[in-house]
Amino acid sequence: MSIIMNSKMEGAREFVPPAIPTGNMAVAQAAGYCLFACGLSVGFSNLFCGVCVGVSGSGCALGDAQKPELFVKMLVVEIFGSALGLFGIIVGIIQAGQGTFPKDITPQIPM
């Protein structure tokens, strides 16, 4: 995910931002917030995926010790927990596709 996000960012010339962003500056800020939201959604979904796999894996180990025939059923539950992380990455890729940085973000001064 970081490779996709890094390919979206581009360097810009130094400038003094206006009080209220307009034009390309507003587009650049929106793209920055979009990539920030992308990182948050991927990070939190993978955090909760890890918690889910940890809790269900603990239960699977204890259940398998008592009844070995339940192993396959518990493994399916763990696979669904792991799918949460995959869904988070898919959502992150979709979110990263929405934010594009403009080539030039110098403020446009009307004459």
What HEC string does 17-80 produce?
CCCCCCCHHHHHHHHHHHHHHHHHHHHHHHHHHHHHHHHHHHHHHHHHHHCHHHHHHHHHHHHH
Indicate the pTM of the whole model: 0.69
Q: What is the pLDDT of residues 52-98, one digit of tens each?
A: 999 988 888 888 889 888 888 888 888 988 888 899 999 998 888 88
- Which pLDDT does position 46 carry in this prediction? 93
Kindly list the distances between the CA atom of residue 100 and the CA atoms of 3, 25, 29, in Å, as whole numbers in the listed order. Answer: 15, 12, 10
**Is residue 3's pLDDT more than 80?**
no
Q: What is the pLDDT of residues 30-55, one digit of tens each?
A: 888 888 999 999 999 999 999 999 99
- Which pLDDT does position 64 carry in this prediction? 86
Calculate mean pLDDT across residues 8-28. 68
- Which pLDDT does position 101 carry in this prediction? 78
- Which pLDDT does position 18 carry in this prediction? 60
**Is residue 10's pLDDT more than 70?**
no
The residues near 11 (Cβ < 8 Å, ≥ 6 apart) are none
Most confident of the ranges 3-12, 34-43, 101-110? 34-43
Query: What is the assigned CATH class of domain 39-100?
Result: mainly alpha
